[in-house]
């Protein structure tokens, strides 16, 4: 299979911070907002270099979303920053009315998404955010897989005119995408061509999918691995092309199976090319405290879970 | 000096527009709309400095945000008669395929509207953002906003009120429509909010009161005073005392007309109290 090298573990939120640093230097319309989580969102360099373009709103996320909507009136491109739970569930109606329905060019940037937030536990580990955001008409939903891709996505969404939800995480994970890879919204990336099964993964699960692919190869199974960083709009053609070749699919994400990437793909395949599918996702449950690795293991979100799902789905062809 | 007769003609015509709009579709919110008619006419014809035509970014002009979006009838009438869109379009209020949705929205591209509102409590945050964008752009024009008194029960307002003074957003004039009523009854019965002047002052806003919120001259004088207090380090709050249903005797002194349209007979009675001035649409 195609070899991917970890260039050194790093957190995707630092990719966001690096992207913001670059935007601060290249796009004078970009402004940043934060609800008392500057350190967690890694945007101190942006703030130091552009103090007049940073808005610290305090612990008041609803107000932050409204202010962001207002800042677009006058040509600013606001990037809001807080944890994923407080970026979505806490402020759903503010996003719905003042941003999505109003068609405002706000970038909702959400760190600490999913179960890998770890020890803080279920109050902070949102596993429903992709579903909440993808249901809003006109909202773009992006979940990059590593530091380099998060940085590239952050920079790319500034050039897109419309509301975007950008989801990333807390832990240091493998950084393996090319440093100069251009980020195209809505364009899936083929990571490994295979013939027996399609594995479509998003976010932290992409590296797990590559690990699973390697282990499967040793068992004589040829897996095709696709990185879907944009959940909405979905690159349906890339998925269809792959399943027409392999005849079965496993979807993998750090999210509830209800409302996530897997559900989007299942809905698309049901109407266009019905295909056996297995979901690697949380099973309609809240998380709990623990280390990211322990939680990924317990909730069935690692490479072993993907391998198991592959073996199962292949029997259903 | 403002031509009070001409402005009063606008007020009466807008009252007629409001009544006819809600009557036609047997829905909508006439009470609060009628209570704020003098305020809207004063704001758009006398107070705000506006550019020709409509541009979403509103650079170098004053901007207005309506937070309590259910009083869309008065907003639509005043926008139309100010020339933002054809007055005849008021005929389409709340009808299918209309740009005049039940609550105001940017979604259908109606000129004059810069944010959707209806779900309450969100407008002050948006107004603050627009005010801060003006400061970043070196634009000295002002942001005006309107909020219901009952609407202040929504917690997001208090996040915004705290922020606006804390961050010295002094190019913002937020007006509270103090009619003392909401859907379920008197505000004091539903959820007493105590002394709003003291509350805003405790949050370090500059507060002024317009006791006669349905007296055009008093509204103009009060809003000019509010304008003179901007740029001094504090956001400005105007407490506008109004009468819900103002100008129609049977709609005043009750909360019954918050969200109810008049029937044929009631419409005729109401219109007879406000003879046509600028011409019905």
Residue A89, pLDDT > 80, answer yes
Segment A36-49 shows an average pLDDT of 97
Distance from CA of A95 to the nearest CA of B (A): 10
Please report the number of interchain residue pairs, chain A to chain B, with beta-carbon separation below 8 angstroms: 117
Residues A203 and A277 in one domain: yes
In a domain, A276, yes or no: yes
Q: Which of B114, B118, B124 has its CB closest to that of A73?
A: B114
- Any CB–CB contact under 8 A between B126 and chain A? yes
A146 near A15, Cβ under 8 Å? yes
Are residues A196 and A112 located together in one domain of the fold? no
Residue B68 at interface with chain A, using a CB cutoff of 8 Å: no
Cβ atoms of B262 and B22 within 8 Å: the answer is yes
> Chain A contact for B78, CB < 8 A?
no
Residue A168, pLDDT score:
98
CB B253 within 8 A of CB B279: no
Out of 3.30.2290.10, 3.40.50.970, 3.30.70.270, 3.30.2350.10, which CATH number does the structure's domain B4-272 have? 3.40.50.970
- CATH number, domain of A226, equals 3.40.50.920
Confidence category of residue A1, pLDDT binned at 50, 70, 90: confident
Instruction: Please confirm, yes or no, whether A49 is among the known catalytic residues.
Output: no
Q: Please tell me the distance from the alpha carbon of residue A190 to that of residue A196, in angstroms, as a whole number.
A: 15
Section A113-127 average pLDDT: 97
Instruction: Verify that A216 and A147 share a domain, yes or no.
Output: no
**pLDDT(B177) > 80:** yes
Question: Are A49 and A141 contained in the same domain?
Answer: yes
Q: Within this chain, do residues A49 and A167 fall inside the same structural domain, yes or no?
A: yes
Per CB-CB distance under 8 Å, the chain B contacts of A65 are 125
Predicted pLDDT at B129 = 98
**Would A21 be classed as within a structural domain?**
yes
Separation between Cα atoms, residue A124 and residue A166, nearest integer Å: 17
Same-domain status, A24 and A160: yes
Per-residue pLDDT averaged across A24-49, rounded?
98
In the predicted structure, residue B269 carries a pLDDT above the cut 80: yes
pLDDT in tens, B185-243: 999 999 999 999 999 999 999 999 999 999 999 999 999 999 999 999 999 999 999 99
A194 and A157 co-located in one domain: no
Q: A161 in contact with B at a CB cutoff of 8 Å?
A: no
- Strands A107-111 and A164-167, sheet pairing: parallel
Give chain A positions within 8 Å (CB) of B117. 97
* Same structural domain, A164 and A17: yes
As a whole number, the mean pLDDT across chain A is: 98
Answer whether residue A184 is part of any domain: no
Q: How confident is the model at residue B22 (pLDDT cuts 50, 70, 90)?
A: very high
Chain B nearest CA to A13, separation (Å): 25
| CA A279/CA A301 separation, integer angstroms | 10
Choose one of A121, A143, A173: the last residue of a domain. A173
Q: Are A102 and A44 in the same domain?
A: yes
Would you place residue A220 in the very low, low, confident or very high pLDDT band (cuts 50, 70, 90)? very high
For residue A288, is it within any domain? yes
Does residue A15 sit in the same domain as residue A140? Answer: yes
Cβ of B132 within 8 Å of Cβ of A69? The answer is: no
| Cα nearest neighbour of A106 on chain B | B129
A93/B106 Cβ within 8 A: no
Q: Is the ipTM of this complex over 0.95?
A: yes
Q: How many domains is chain A partitioned into structurally? A: 2
Which sign does the torsion angle of CA B245, B249, B254, B259 carry?
Answer: negative
CB B93, CB B19: distance < 8 Å: no
Task: Return the CA Rg of chain B.
Answer: 18
Q: Calculate the average pLDDT of chain B.
A: 97
Q: Is residue A179 part of a domain?
A: no
Q: Please report the pLDDT score of residue B1 as a whole number.
A: 72
B106 touches chain A (CB under 8 A): yes
Contacts of A213 by beta carbon, 8 Å cutoff, 6+ apart: A1, A192, A194, A199, A223, A225
The answer as to whether A2 is a domain residue is no
**Is the separation of the CB atoms in A72 and A106 below 8 Å?**
yes
| From A61, A128, A224, A278, the catalytic residue | A61
The domain containing residue A65 runs over which residues? 10-173
Cα within 13 Å of Cα(A309), Cβ side: 30
B 160-219 near A (Cβ less than 8 A) = 160, 162-163, 166-167
Whether A5 is covered by a domain: the verdict is no
Q: Is there a single domain that holds both residue A95 and residue A204?
A: no
* Residue A233 included in any domain: yes
What is each CA distance from B170 to B49, B122, B220, B231, in whole angstroms? 17, 19, 20, 5
pLDDT at A306 over 90: yes
Question: Are A69 and B59 an interchain contact pair (Cβ–Cβ within 8 Å)?
Answer: no
One domain, residues A40 and A164: yes
Question: Which CATH number characterizes residue A162's domain?
Answer: 3.40.50.970
Average pLDDT over residues A198-205: 98
Pairwise CA distance, residues B10 & B90, whole Å:
15
pLDDT cut 70: percent of chain B above it: 100
Judge whether residue B2 has pLDDT over 90.
no
């Amino acid at each position: 299979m195609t070899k991917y090298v970890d260039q050194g573990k790093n957190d995707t939120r630092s990719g966001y911070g690096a992207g913001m640093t670059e935007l601060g230097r290249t796009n004078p319309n970009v402004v940043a907002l934060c609800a008392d989580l500057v350190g967690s969102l890694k945007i101190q360099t942006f703030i130091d270099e552009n103090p007049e373009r940073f808005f610290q709103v305090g612990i008041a996320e609803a107000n932050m979303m409204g202010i962001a909507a207002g800042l677009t009136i006058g040509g600013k491109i606001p990037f809001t920053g807080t944890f994923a739970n407080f970026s979505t569930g806490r402020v759903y109606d503010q996003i719905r009315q003042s941003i999505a329905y109003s068609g405002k060019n706000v970038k909702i940037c959400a760190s600490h998404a999913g179960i890998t937030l770890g020890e803080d536990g279920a109050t902070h580990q949102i596993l429903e955010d992709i579903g909440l955001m993808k249901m809003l008409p006109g909202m773009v939903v992006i979940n990059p897989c590593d530091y380099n891709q998060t940085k590239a996505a952050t920079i790319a969404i500034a050039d897109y005119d419309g509301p975007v939800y950008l989801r990333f995480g807390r832990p240091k994970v493998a950084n393996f995408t090319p440093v100069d890879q251009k980020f195209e919204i809505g364009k899936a990336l083929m990571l490994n061509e295979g013939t027996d099964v399609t594995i479509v993964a998003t976010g932290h699960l992409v590296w797990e999918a590559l690990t699973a692919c390697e282990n499967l190869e040793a068992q004589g199974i040829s897996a095709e691995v696709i990185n879907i960083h944009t959940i909405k709009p979905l690159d349906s053609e890339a998925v269809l092309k792959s399943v027409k070749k392999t005849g079965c699919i496993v979807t993998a994400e750090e999210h509830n199976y209800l409302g996530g990437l897997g559900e989007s793909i299942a809905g698309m395949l049901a109407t266009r090319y019905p295909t056996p599918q297995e979901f690697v996702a949380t099973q309609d449950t809240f998380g709990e405290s623990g280390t990211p690795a322990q939680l990924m293991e317990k909730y069935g979100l690692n490479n072993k879970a993907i391998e198991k799902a592959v073996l199962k789905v292949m029997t259903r062809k | 000096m403002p031509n009070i007769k001409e402005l009063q003609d606008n007020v009466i015509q807008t009252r007629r527009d409001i009544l006819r709009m809600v009557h036609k579709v047997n829905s909508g919110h006439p009470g609060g709309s009628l209570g704020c008619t003098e305020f809207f006419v004063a704001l758009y014809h006398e107070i705000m400095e506006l550019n020709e035509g409509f541009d979403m970014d509103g650079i170098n002009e004053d901007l207005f945000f309506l937070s309590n979006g259910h009083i869309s009838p008065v907003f639509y009438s005043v926008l139309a008669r100010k020339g933002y869109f054809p007055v005849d379009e008021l005929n389409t209020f709340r009808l299918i395929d209309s740009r005049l949705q039940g609550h105001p929205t940017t979604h259908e591209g109606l000129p004059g509207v810069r944010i959707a509102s209806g779900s309450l409590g969100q407008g002050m945050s948006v107004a603050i953002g627009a005010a801060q964008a003006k400061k970043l752009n070196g634009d000295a024009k002002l942001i005006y906003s309107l909020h219901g008194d009952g609407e202040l029960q929504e917690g997001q307002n208090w996040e915004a009120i705290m922020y606006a003074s804390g961050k010295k957003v002094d190019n913002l004039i937020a007006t509270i429509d103090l009619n003392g009523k909401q859907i379920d009854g008197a505000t004091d019965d539903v959820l007493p909010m105590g002394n709003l002047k003291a509350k805003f002052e405790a949050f370090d806003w500059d507060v002024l009161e317009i006791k006669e919120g349905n007296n055009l001259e008093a509204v103009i004088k009060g809003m000019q005073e509010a304008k003179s207090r901007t740029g001094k380090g504090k956001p400005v709050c105007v407490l506008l005392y109004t009468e819900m249903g103002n100008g129609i005797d049977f709609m005043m002194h009750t909360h019954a007309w918050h969200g109810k349209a008049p029937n044929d007979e009631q419409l005729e009675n109401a219109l007879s109290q406000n003879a046509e001035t600028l011409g019905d649409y």
